[in-house]
Structure 1
Amino acid sequence: MPKIIGASLREHREQTRLRLFAALSELIGERGFDAVTLSEVATRAGVGRTAVYNHFPDKEAMLVGLIMHETTGWAEALNQALAGIDDPVEQLRTYVREQLTLKAEFHFAPGPDLRRVLSAPTQARVREHVVLVEQILRRILARGIATGAFPEQELDVTLPLVIACLSGRGVPAGGPAREHAIAQTEAFVLRAVGAPELVLV
């Protein structure tokens, strides 16, 4: 009988899923999604291959599970960082900083270029989950416009532009160069949405 991980069957299932997600992330980083097999994921995770099929019917479903898991964690981390901040300008600064910081902690949220690895129906499912992160930014911008912190603008135009800026932005791993890059990115985004009187670091 397989060894139970954790104090209960529910905890066992959750811990197994987390092991599988970690293994899949590592293997994708090493050789890309297409080259990874479920057998390799099971071996790396330290679970039996049959255990994999108790959670996911195929490799694509596991990737979707990983992306959704990380996107949820990403959104929760953003909301925690924003808790207690009322000023929309400071909210946007925090959003930008957290997005750049979280990219080092999460592999797939709010999502890689999925067109190359997922079918169209699956992309649609993932897209619904990714909206969690985008809605946080939409709320910040909408509140900024409503309070006069940002000038009137079309959110459906501004939102994807800010997301594209942050998605494509890499920052140094540490030190003064990292802080400078993050500060400059904050300033760029705030200037782009029309925030007043920026203080550059």
Structure 2
Amino acid sequence: MPRIEAENLPAHRKQVHERVFRAFAELMAERSYDAITMAHLAERAGLGRTAIYHHFHDKEAVVVAYATHETDRYIDGLRDLLATTDDPTAQLRLYVRNHLDSGERFHMGLGPQLYGVLGASSRAEIRDHVLAVEDVLRGILVAGADRGAFAIDDLPATTSLIHTCLTPRDLPPVAVEEFVLRAVGASTT
């Protein structure tokens, strides 16, 4: 039986998962997804070669669990940030800035290139994470429209188009921010 390194089993599982997630992030920074094996993950996380399978049945399960963990962490931080103001324009600015500032760290190459190697159910689970982040944006847009701060004719299209603008590019963040605000008819002063 594996040794439990925490005060109880749930705390142990959480510690092991966090070690595997750190290992996954480190390995993704060093090599392609295809070049990472469960043995690599176990070694980097300080687990035995078979112990990792007590937590994740395969590499795809690690990706989905990692995406869930990171999305939850991202949304919690985003909501804390947005709670600092109730002004929808200020919240949209914060949303855009946060997304641009943390985009590379948050997405870490888990975009379209990875979707091609994941199974349909894993892609659907990861898509749910994208929708959870989009829900935060939709809430800001609805609040802004309700208060007359934003002019939005098509909420789904506006949400999608804003997220397209937030894809990492070689543009100054302030230019993206101002463009998004003007696109929804917000005051940029």
The structure 2 residue matched to 1:182, chosen from 168, 173, 179, is: 173
Residue number in structure 2 paired with 1:178: none
| Deviation of the 1:4 alpha carbon | 3.0
Distance 2:108 2:83 in 1: 24
Instruction: Give, as a single letter, the amino acid of the residue that structure 2 aligns with 1:112.
Output: G
Alignment TM-score, normalising by the size of structure 1: 0.86
Contact 2:100–2:168 (Cα < 8 Å) also in 1: no
Give the RMSD, CA atoms, in angstroms. 1.9
- Name the CA shift for 1:107/1:154 in 2 (closer, same or farther; >3 Å): closer
User: Aligned residue for 1:25?
Assistant: 25
Q: 1:37-116, aligned counterparts within 5 Å?
A: 37-108=37-108, 111-113=110-112, 114-116=114-116
CA distance in 2, matches of 1:76, 1:152: 26
User: Could you tell me how far apart the structure 2 residues matched to 1:84 and 1:118 are?
Assistant: 38
Q: Is the 8 A contact 2:37 2:59 kept in 1?
A: yes
The answer to whether the 8 Å contact 1:70/1:108 transfers is no
Query: How far, CA to CA, are the matches of 1:84 and 1:107 in structure 2?
Result: 25
Q: What SS class does the counterpart of residue 50 from structure 2 fall into?
A: helix
State the distance in 1 between where 2:177 and 2:162 align: 11
Cα distance in 2 for partners of 1:120, 1:72 equals 22
> Quick one: distance in 2 between partners of 1:189 and 1:152?
12
The 3 A distance-change label for structure 1 pair 170 and 56 is farther
Write the letter of the residue equivalent to 1:167.
T
Deviation string 1:94-132 (CA, Å, 9 cap, x unpaired) is 1011112222543449x5224222112221122123211
CA distance in 1, matches of 2:51, 2:107: 24
1:163 — aligned with what?
163
Report % sequence identity: 45
Structure 1 residues 24, 152: closer, same or farther in 2, change over 3 A?
A: closer
Give unmatched runs, 5+ long, in structure 2: none
The count of aligned residue pairs is 188
Pick aligned residue for 1:191 from 182, 185, 188: 182
Map of 1:133 onto structure 2: 133
- Residue 42 of structure 1 deviates from its aligned partner by 0.4
Counterpart position of 2:151 = 151
What TM-score comes out, normalization by structure 2 length?
0.91
Matched residues in 1 for 2:107 and 2:22: separation? 10
